[in-house]
Amino acid sequence: MRSQPPPDLKNPTQETVIRTKDSSPSTISGNGTDAINLIAQDMKSLVKKIQDLRHIGIEDNRIALPKICVIGDQSTGKSSLIEGMSEIKVPRSSGTCTRCPMEINLTESKPGQPWICRVFLSRKYMFDGSRKVTKLPKKSQPLGPWILQDQEDELFVTLSDKCFVQDAIMWAQVAILNPSQPSIDYVPGRNADASMNCQVKFSPNVVRLDISAPSFPNLSFYDLPGVISQAEFDEERYLVSLVENLAKEYISQENCIVLLTLPMTDDATNSSAARLMRDVRGAKERTLGVLTKPDRVQACESYNQWMEILEGDKFALGHGYYVVQNNPDPSVDHAQARDEEADFFTRHPWSTELQAYKDRFGTRNLQSALSMLLLERIQGCLPRIIEQIDAKAARIDDELRTLPDPPSANVQYILCRKISQLKERITAHFNGGSSQYPLQKIWGHLALDFKTALIKTRPTVQLRAGSDAARLGGERDGESDCEMTGVQNVTPVKRKTPGDGPTSTPNLPDVNGAGGQVGTPKTSVYFTTHFHKFDKPARMFTWEEIREINEDAYRAGIPDQADPKAIEIMRQLSVRHWNEPMLVFLQATHSLVREMLMKQLEDVFTQYRQTSLYRELRKIIDTFLRGLQKEHIRHAQENYDIECHKPFTMATTTLEQVSRSAYQFLSTRRNEARVHCALALRGISAEHPRRDYEMKRLVLPADDFTQELKMMASTRGYYEIASSRFIDFTCQSVHTKLFSKCRDELITVIEEELGIVEDNAFERCQELMAEDPERQHRRQYLLREKEKITKAQEWLDSVKREDDAGEQGTVFVKSQPPDEWASFPVFPPTVSMD
């Protein structure tokens, strides 16, 4: 079939406009006025705004605009229904008309304006030819080879005469079903050599008709491909799933009003479209049923089933049912069809048995109901749509701030300014002094944790010796000629026998002689999570072990004296564990600095994250920090080796003081342990009533480990001095080996490594800040989306600004915030659907 070119088609490069031969505009039938003039002008304006929003492509997976979707099985009178509501003729062949959706937008134009129909090809999906077309679609790919893309609307043809519409729709569908061919090849008047053959038999892309005329109803609806239960050929079985999946995608949207066509010639239980609708959650409540072909019901058949359906007793839907009668003869014009329909419903049984449902008979009543349903849906969801559009605008603006236009002539200045900002931020963090720059505060907690770790892990001694039981149990008061020791007052404590576990840490004088106390902190909780495993003494000496160390180191001299070499060995053993907490501290410090630097880099250069500049900066900073860390750890390890190799201090006075304090503490605790041991051997527990009496008369033999006690006290005293020195050195090295180098040298290294201080600095800056194609594509996409959003916001703002408040009797929408929606009128009550 070929369409004849219109007489006034002259320039093939311009928009195609088809007119009647006398160039006079086609008009709407006069009898249609009653059915069309249904809603107030302000309501029509809102419907038009929704149409405009849809046409600029504002919908996405978060924003769903109100719409009406017509579904039904094939041959259910759906095409006749579309013709009756839109006053146009649609293709009736079994080919193209069932293979892609059609969107019809009816808009009222100003009085005196001509009837105009613009046909668009709306492509929201791209055809992927690499996928097998006839393969059944997967759940993850419900539309098979069709892939979602940015919506593109192409004007196909403009018509001013209704008689050309059917032919234009047919060729538009052929263009849609040939995605790899230029659509201009199928435009009526230019398609002399075009073929009706189609590359695909199904497409989710839409043929859109924008029809406007004076006194036209503002109504929009989608005509979806007819649901099929069986494919004509085995190789076309995939079409069944594709059509159903497309229908589900539309009717599953919460703002979609579903128009379900059911022929009265068939049993309602056999409808595949009805089954599909009921399978979609929430769709039933949004569905209005349309019963078609009432003139085909045999006179001998009962109307009981249809009465029960109209009454809502069977197959109930959220908006009930309407009945329409359309003449299937395409040669019958709209006015005659409506007159015939009106006459049909004046006959039996419609005007007799079924008269109670007369408000639900006829296309005009259906138009009225659909108009009010659509307006009701718009009224309910428009505030939410505006919120969603504003939220999308904010998301786009946020992302665009990270994707600014690439610099041009001032690229060198921009880069130098950004590096200067980075330097200022880094310097501020290393200098500290503000809650805005918390690096020093966090690192101070790390340093305190490091100090706490060394205190918690300092070596201790098991108070009871293995020989105490035999030594204290074999003697009785006054029966030994050995030197005896009187027992000092010991406060009874209800606890297990001492000496079975490690001693608690004593409070020792400050190593600087300031009189403060350095002991176990009041709480064992660290500021950070790095040192939790350092929660107990790293070494537990025994008195026998200390004696053995002394004996092994013994050289010629006075027996039973502490050998200086033995004390040196004990001091070495006491500091050997420092390496692990030191490395944990340094690693945590370097990680903290790296995290801060990368955060500042991201904040300053966030707009250029997709450029080679950002990648180069990260690489330079990482390399610089790795070099600092390697040198820092080498330096700290060298100091650790010195501490372990040769214990040394010139603070002899302080050493003597802290050793004396340690001796007093240890000797007291050792004496307590021996007393409790002796009482326990005599059967006197902590709760014994004679415990205080027995304790006063208890005389202990001389301690066999007095010398070892002095050696342990000297070791503990040295530990206090050496650990304080080691902490100070390690923390000081952080400032000299890390902080100051990052603050003073990093930016210079960055400038040198980037090569922006050389003769070709300008070219180098352009190279670094050039964006990749993906980033450029993303920005262009966001700018297009921003243009749509901005236009949408302007249109919606114009709705807000409509000043209807001055009119008498104006009532405002109750569900809308008064501050934002003071100009919205409430629509009249909807036509009853029950």
Among the listed ranges 26-40, 292-306, 730-744, which one has the minimum average pLDDT value? Answer: 26-40
Among the listed ranges 37-46, 401-410, 720-729, 821-830, which one has the minimum average pLDDT value? Answer: 821-830
* CB distance 211 to 153 below 8 Å: no
The pLDDT of residue 296 is: 85
CA distance 188 to 170: 10
- The domain at 417-461+539-660+706-768 falls in which architecture? Up-down Bundle (1.20)
3-state SS, 243-301, equals: HHHHHHHHHCCCCEEEEEEEECCCCHHHCHHHHHHHHCCCCHHHEEEEEECHHHCCCCC
SS3 188: coil
* CB distance 718 to 654 below 8 Å: no
The pLDDT of residue 722 is: 97
Q: Is a pLDDT exceeding 70 seen at residue 494?
A: no
The pLDDT of residue 799 is: 67
Beta strands in 54-195 (DSSP E): 67-72, 102-109, 116-127, 146-159
Q: Please tell me the pTM assigned to this model.
A: 0.54
Two tokens at 123?
A: 């492509």
Structure-derived torsion over alpha carbons of residues 660, 663, 669, 671, reported in degrees to the nearest 10: -120
Among the listed ranges 388-392, 463-467, 590-594, which one has the minimum average pLDDT value? Answer: 388-392
Among the listed ranges 358-372, 543-557, 642-656, which one has the minimum average pLDDT value? Answer: 543-557
CA distance 84 to 105: 14
**What residues does CATH 1.20.120.1240 cover in the chain?**
417-461+539-660+706-768
Among the listed ranges 327-336, 382-391, 795-804, which one has the minimum average pLDDT value? Answer: 795-804
pLDDT band for 603, please (50, 70, 90 cuts): very high
The pLDDT of residue 374 is: 85
Q: Which tops the pLDDT comparison, 202 or 428?
A: 428
Sign, CA dihedral 430-432-434-435, equals positive
The pLDDT of residue 509 is: 36
Q: What is the pLDDT of residues 241-268, one digit of tens each?
A: 888 888 888 999 888 999 999 998 888 7
Half-sphere exposure (Cβ direction) of 453: Cα atoms closer than 13 Å: 27
The pLDDT of residue 519 is: 41
Residue 122's closest CA among 222, 6, 256? 222
Strand partners, 209: 104, 119
The pLDDT of residue 43 is: 63
The pLDDT of residue 478 is: 37
Q: Is a pLDDT exceeding 50 seen at residue 17?
A: no
Among the listed ranges 213-222, 471-480, 512-521, 630-639, which one has the minimum average pLDDT value? Answer: 512-521
The pLDDT of residue 381 is: 84
CA dist 22 to 6, 14, 179, 184, 468, Å? 11, 21, 36, 26, 128
Q: Within 10 Å of residue 195's Cβ, how many Cβ atoms?
A: 11
Among the listed ranges 37-41, 129-133, 241-245, which one has the minimum average pLDDT value? Answer: 37-41
Q: Is a pLDDT exceeding 80 seen at residue 274?
A: yes
**What residues does CATH 3.40.50.300 cover in the chain?**
45-391
In terms of phi and psi (left: phi > 0; alpha: psi -120 to 50; beta: otherwise), the region of 298 is: beta
Q: Which tops the pLDDT comparison, 280 or 822?
A: 280
CA dist 175 to 150, 203, 333, Å? 19, 11, 28
Q: Is a pLDDT exceeding 90 seen at residue 312?
A: no
CA dist 404 to 400, 601, 617, 762, Å? 6, 17, 19, 19
The mean pLDDT value of the chain amounts to: 80
The pLDDT of residue 807 is: 43
Amino acid letter for position 278 = R
- The domain at 45-391 falls in which architecture? 3-Layer(aba) Sandwich (3.40)
Beta strands in 684-790 (DSSP E): 699-701
The pLDDT of residue 747 is: 95
Provide, rounded to the nearest whole percent, the portion of the chain with pLDDT above 70.
79
Most confident residue range from 612-616, 626-630, 691-695 = 626-630
Q: Is a pLDDT exceeding 80 seen at residue 486?
A: no
CA angle in degrees (0–180, nearest 5) for 584-585-586: 95
SS3 138: coil
Residue 746's closest CA among 597, 543, 581? 597
Q: Within 10 Å of residue 45's Cβ, how many Cβ atoms?
A: 15
* Environment class of 330 (CB within 10 Å of its CB; exposed 0-12, middle 13-18, buried 19+): middle
Mean pLDDT of 90-113: 77
pLDDT band for 52, please (50, 70, 90 cuts): confident
- Give, for 9, the enclosing helix (H) or strand (E): none
